[in-house]
Chain A
Amino acid sequence: MNGTIPRTIFKAEHDEFRSHVRRFYEREITPHREEWEAAGQISREAWAKAGEAGFLCATMPEEYGGAGVDRLYSAVLIEEQARTFNSGPGFSLHSDIVAPYILNYGTEAQKQKYLPRMAKGEIIGCIAMTEPGAGSDLQGVKTTAIKQGDHFLINGQKTFITNGYMSDFVVLVAKTDPTAGAKGISLILVDTGTEGYQKGKKLKKIGMHAQDTAELFFDNVRVPRENLLGEEGKGFIQLMKELAWERMQIAIRNVEMADSVLSHTVDYVKERKAFKQSIMDFQNTKFRLAEVKTEIQVARVFVDRCIEAVVKRELDPATGAMAKLYASEMSNRVVDTCLQFFGGWGYMWEFPIARAYADARVQRIFGGTSEVMKEIVARTL
């Protein structure tokens, strides 16, 4: 189409995969949205179905239940979810953040124990970094995991944990050496059901109502030493390794979400009339939406270029931070501009634009706040 720069990163296989994913969201996810929002979580059945369809942990090697495909498949999954404004399923966190930690740092036993079942959707993973008093500043983590013989004794509290309520295990960020800063941090696998480990309430949020974001409590939880993920004291470095890709996931989602918002908005303004003409025909509408389209197009090309780099493992952390910053700030502007065109309907939850507006706000916060992104970028000046 005139005014659309062709995307060049995907091959025919990716396109075919995309059409499967699109159908899956239409049939298995979108129809349940209201029910899941009321429940504050999606269903286990949906996880199992995603697993059956091969949409969980697709980039993991086949020996661990994945399909061994490249990250463009993850990008397709993220985009299709964003396109349909289904913010409930925490599939990408599970598949593209949690699973890679186990693959990259897990022992063979850990990989065998978790990865194939994660790919099937039988077990749900989460990662617990944030605490009530420590967000982006991970060195300030207070949760401790103190070695006692064959065990770690874990005490502390985590919050804002995506997939937290439904999760069957957590990659826990804890201080194995509370006297050290970054060097005292380790990652430890804790299974749901371990004595002393309790989930708090599903947190009420501005948006993402079907996402079971939760608090987690650890009260003298004893886990075996072999639950350490990777090396003791290396948690911080392990957390840094894939940051560019983790942040790119947010960038990918935000561009697609903005694109979908624009397309809904164009449909609406063409149909809706005011003062005897369609809203589309007002010059203000035309110009604002031309700006929005341009803004999305610029972000799309930039993010696609970053995806290209991330697939080749060439994306540096600062550029990943730029992509996250740029795309999330962009999508927030776009949803705000577009919501306005819907008038009162834009404020009604039944309209996707209202939900997109609510869901968008956290994109500038999680995965590292926009301010932290700027700090990272500033170091490259």
Chain B
Amino acid sequence: MTWLPRTVFTAEHDLFRAEVRKFYEREIVPHHAQWEKDGVVPRSAWKKAGDAGFLCATMPEEYGGAGVDRLYSAILMEEQARANTSGPGWSLHSDIVAPYILNYGTEEQKKKYLPAMAKGDVIGAIAMTEPGTGSDLQGVRTTAIRDGDHYVINGQKTFITNGQNADLVILVTKTDPKQGAKGISLILVEAGMPGFTKGRNLEKLGMHAQDTSELFFSDVRVPVSNLLGDKEGQGFYQLMKELAWERLQVAISAIANAEAALQWTVDYTKERKAFGQPIADFQNTRFKLADLKTQIQAARAFVDRCLELVVKGELDAASGAMAKYWCSDLQNSVLNECLQLHGGYGFMWEYPITRAYADARVQKIYAGTNEIMKELISRTL
């Protein structure tokens, strides 16, 4: 299939992509069905990803990373989306959790966590959402009350990516429950701390190999040195800083997955016959697929331009929101049309299109619902 040439990547990136692709083919794809049954990706896979240099690649070398640009992260996300393996929560670990530690952590925190995260020895998560609080972070109820040299943490989190595996949680808490956004602080909580328990590994519509979980905090005592940032009440602003990049990550995987789905569907419709001819020869199929290709191409050009900007640190929050909303919507509509062209097979779990369809639905929800994205965009009108 011909596309407008992409201009964001250099030859080194392409080389890296080839390695990542091989890694997914060998180490991830063959195991994914089992991991879906298990509801989790094993630690051994995390280790392999760490050994290959695919975790925390953008972190500085002194902290175990490769110090590379975000295009490398984009490649990792694209290849994962292309392989249709939604289990590994590596981009969250590498491109959301690790940057918080790098940006706001003390030297000691960075040294303690980042190299181990890059190796896959420590798995990271970030806990924002609560049963009663989603996109509206100011309503967080989990509290971290100062008691001498410690914070005493109480509360509950849910829908936490990497929740079962997590060794380290960046916890969004209220250090001042009387305040709204200004009362929020980020605190590092380690698995095994007394009072910190992991709840259910949640059953979901899709992403069956992803260990999305509940987390419970009951009088968990954490040293004050585990605060992320130099003072309390900075959490909300810390969470805002890289939102454009975090949301673009959703767009990146959405488009790569839509491209892959289109290719599966083209292949399928060329092979599958109905009424004596390949489905691909029916005009409806041709026009539908042409339309999808066109929409994907436009979104691809858009996301690549956003990537170009994000690498330069110039992507604004509203544009990041546009990319997230537009591409996740597009991914869902593409998968829906593509599934239809698979007929009954499109409903069978063994087919990639089916899993992709189930996996994709949450893209319009997490990282800020698309309704929140529209709210943000509308403020720029």
Contact = CB atoms under 8 A, between A and B. Distances in A.
Interface string A360-377: 000000000001011111
A97 interface: no
Interface stretch (A44-52, A172-180, A292-300): A292-300
A299 B298 CA distance: 6
Contact of B294 (A289, A293, A326, A375): A326
B302 interface: yes
Interface stretch (B148-156, B184-192, B313-321, B346-354): B313-321
Nearest to B289: A381
B4 A298 contact: no
Contacts of B289: 378, 381
Interface in B308-337: 309, 316-319, 322, 325-326
B255 to A, nearest CB: 11
Interface string A266-303: 10000000000000100000110111011101110110
B2 interface: yes
Given A301-B301, A319-B4, A322-B298, A286 B293 contact: no
Contact of A371 (B287, B318, B322, B375): B287
Nearest to B314: A6
Contacts of A373: 290, 294
B38 to A, nearest CB: 37
Interface string B73-110: 00000000000000000000000000000000000000
Contact of B377 (A294, A374, A375, A376): A294
B286 A297 contact: no
B337 to A, nearest CB: 13
Given A3-B380, A5-B306, A280-B381, A297 B322 contact: yes
A302 B301 contact: yes
A5 B291 contact: no
A286 B325 contact: no
Interface string A1-25: 1111100000000000000000000
B371 interface: yes
Interface centre among A266, A287, A319, A381 (most CB of B within 10 A): A381
A2 B293 contact: no
A325 B294 contact: yes
B287 A298 contact: no
Contacts of B301: 301-302, 305
B374 interface: yes
B375 A286 contact: yes
Contacts of A161: none
**A interface secondary structure, majority:** helix
Interface residues of A, number: 38
Interface in B333-378: 371, 373-378
B41 interface: no
Nearest to B285: A378
B272 interface: no
Contacts of A299: 298
Given A1-B380, A326-B294, 19 more contacts: A3-B322, A4-B380, A5-B319, A266-B381, A286-B378, A286-B381, A287-B371, A290-B325, A290-B374, A294-B325, A298-B322, A302-B302, A322-B294, A322-B298, A325-B291, A375-B287, A375-B290, A377-B293, A381-B286
Interface of B: 1-2, 4, 266, 280, 286-287, 289-291, 293-295, 297-299, 301-302, 305-306, 309, 316-319, 322, 325-326, 371, 373-378, 380-381
30 contacts: A2-B317, A3-B316, A3-B318, A3-B319, A3-B381, A5-B302, A286-B375, A290-B373, A290-B378, A293-B377, A294-B322, A294-B377, A295-B326, A298-B298, A298-B302, A298-B322, A298-B326, A322-B293, A325-B291, A325-B294, A326-B297, A326-B298, A374-B286, A377-B290, A377-B291, A377-B293, A378-B286, A378-B290, A381-B280, A381-B290
What 4 A-B pairs come out closest when comparing CB atoms? A3-B380, A3-B318, A286-B378, A377-B290
